[in-house]
A and B are shown apart, each in its own frame.
Chain A
Amino acid sequence: MSVVAENLNWGVKRKAIVLGVSLTVAPGETLGLIGPNGSGKSSLLRLLAGLRRPDTGRVEINGQDIAQVSRKALSRQVAFVQQSVATDTNVTVVDVVRLGRTPHRSAFAGWSEADETSVAEALDRVDMASRRKQAWQTLSGGERQRVHIARALAQAPQVMFLDEPTNHLDIHHQIEILRMVRDLDLTSVVALHDLNLAAMFCDRIVVLQDGAVRVCGTPHTVLTRETLRDVFRVSAYVDISPYHSQPHIRFSAV
């Protein structure tokens, strides 16, 4: 499914937070969203996922304006992994992942074989199958993050928005999760801070600065010395990695 945003604007109290963003994500593509803190990545993802109404502009998923689609119908196609979540309720890992089936179940429908399979598969995918009965509260930060990704997978979406999904993850799981997102047959938009990971796993990258798209294109065209200096205020060397032939960035301390 394709995702198309046309001239999105959103702000609060005269402060513009997302400024005239237009972008297109092709079916099956993985789009990286990078930018400094406060550049509007999370806000843009919320607009794309339909959790906020843009002040102007529109978002189309699979050619349909999401403002015209009901919440429930939308959530059968679109999953959203938030930057951080918390709860005081004493729930188990499997309870949380089962929540992902909410959009697919009616009020009193029993728990079907298909529901169980997607939950089990999702837990497997993020390496948490052995922890299904553990209390969510007692998980480590990275484990919580993985459980939330599993929940999004259990939602069986065709489009996935992930807000810094690699937060708290060890390097093995950072790579595993991003590899999985790239290889799954779904369209995804991923906000990331690690530029090397973005280069490795994203088909294209959008650089946000102060709420507006600064540049957009393949990792090679986007991750240049000049962009890194202007947007992220770092001096860096960019060369081509011999392993995956994508740009590799090394930062200079001076």
Chain B
Amino acid sequence: MAPDASEGGAGRLALFTCLSAIVLAFAVAFATAIGDYRIGLGTVFLSITNELGLTGAKVAPIEQSVVWNLRLSRALVAALAGAGLAMCGAILQALLRNPLAEPFVLGVSAGASTGAVCVIVLGIGAGSLSLSLGAFAGAFAAFALVALLSNGATSGPNHTILAGVAASQLFNALTSYIVTTSGNAQQARDVMFWLLGSFGGVRWPDFQLLLGVVVVSLVICAWMARSLDAFTFGDEDAAALGVPVGRIRLILFGVTALLTATIVSMVGAIGFVGLVVPHAARYIVGPLHLRLLPACAVVGAVFMVIADIASRVIATQQTVPIGVVTALVGVPFFAIILYRARPQT
């Protein structure tokens, strides 16, 4: 018998896992059905099983193609992006011991935007570089600067956060400088729109890449989950519990930076998911990371798929940037958690 499970509510955890898997499946199905051109859930199901070679039902080829090539890949990338951002948020909140930490505190999104404008506005790479590659390079440049400013992220949480703030300011200033001096209004708008997030252009290769990165990150982080728990009372306390603090910090910062940079370069800097979801997940499964990280992944995935659906239905004939939706959906949700978790005084 594992008292760990009996005490922490194994039943509750199992229920949560089953429920969230079902909700995720439904959310993806709806995301695939809904759009300018509505497709019935039955057709969605048959199209997918057809493509997987499980059935040979008759489905209009155009519908099958829309379901498989456009919408399913998009919904799954949304799910993975949500999962990745939420995990990064949980890890950074633990490592930096700051409930306000989120995936972009280390300057990654600011760096990505600078990289993106370098490609779009300055035309660096003369068309050979895609916007995504530029954004990825920028994101990593920002992270490298933060690592440098905080001695390889070893000089304490607040120092690291300040280094992240400095890097964000620097790269945001660079972005503004480039846009105002050499961009035109349209280019500036493009960059803005891209930064606020969009799943518009994603296809299967994006999904495969992101799936690989998310799975590898999840495995590494789950491997270190026990060490993350030990950070509850600070770095020195973690060291007294046998955690090689410097190494763990560096590896986990590296993983979160890689994951965030991949997501940002693919779908833009979608805010709020990485901040809100870890708090919600902690509220459901408790603070221990071996449960919290998978829970974040699932809740983040559901949240992002629903936000993507919302972004397509709230304004007809138009797609609202996903970052706007996550904030609009996230804030009330966050308010509820804050209200329910307020100190009992």
- B contacts with A, residue count (CB < 8 A): 35
Q: Which B residues are CB-close (under 8 A) to A102?
A: 226-227, 229-230, 241-243
Q: Which A residues are CB-close (under 8 A) to B230?
A: 99, 102
Q: Which of B1-9, B43-51, B140-148, B311-319 contacts A (4 or more CB under 8 A)?
A: B1-9
Q: Is B125 an interface residue (CB 8 A)?
A: no
Q: Which B residues are CB-close (under 8 A) to A130?
A: none
B241 touches A99 (CB 8 A): yes
Q: Which A residues are CB-close (under 8 A) to B343?
A: 137
Q: Is A111 an interface residue (CB 8 A)?
A: yes
B241 touches A75 (CB 8 A): yes
Q: Which B residues are CB-close (under 8 A) to A155?
A: 241
* Residue in contact with A95 in the complex, picked from B5, B99, B242, B287, CB distance below 8 Å: B287
Say whether chain B's binding surface is mostly helix, strand, loop, or mixed: helix
Taking the closest CB of chain B, its distance from the CB of A89, in whole angstroms, is 5
Q: How far is the CA of A75 from the CA of B225 in the complex (A)?
A: 18
Q: Is B159 an interface residue (CB 8 A)?
A: no
A85 touches B225 (CB 8 A): no
B239 touches A105 (CB 8 A): no
- Take A95-B287, A107-B224 as given contacts and tell me if A49 and B99 are in contact as well, using a CB distance cutoff of 8 Å: no
Q: Which A residues are CB-close (under 8 A) to B244?
A: 70-72
CB-contacts of B271-293 with A (<8 A): 282, 286-288, 290
CB-contacts of A84-104 with B (<8 A): 85-91, 94-96, 99-100, 102-103
Q: Is B233 an interface residue (CB 8 A)?
A: yes
Q: Is B177 an interface residue (CB 8 A)?
A: no
Q: Which A residues are CB-close (under 8 A) to B227?
A: 102
Q: How far is the CA of A110 from the CA of B236 in the complex (A)?
A: 26
Q: Is B152 an interface residue (CB 8 A)?
A: no
16 inter-chain pairs at a CB distance below 8 angstroms, sorted by A residue, are A46-B236, A71-B243, A82-B237, A82-B240, A85-B237, A96-B232, A99-B241, A102-B227, A102-B229, A102-B230, A102-B242, A107-B224, A110-B2, A110-B4, A111-B2, A137-B343
Chain B positions within 8 Å of A, measured between CB atoms, are: 2-5, 7, 94, 97-99, 222-227, 229-230, 232-234, 236-237, 239-244, 282, 286-288, 290, 341, 343
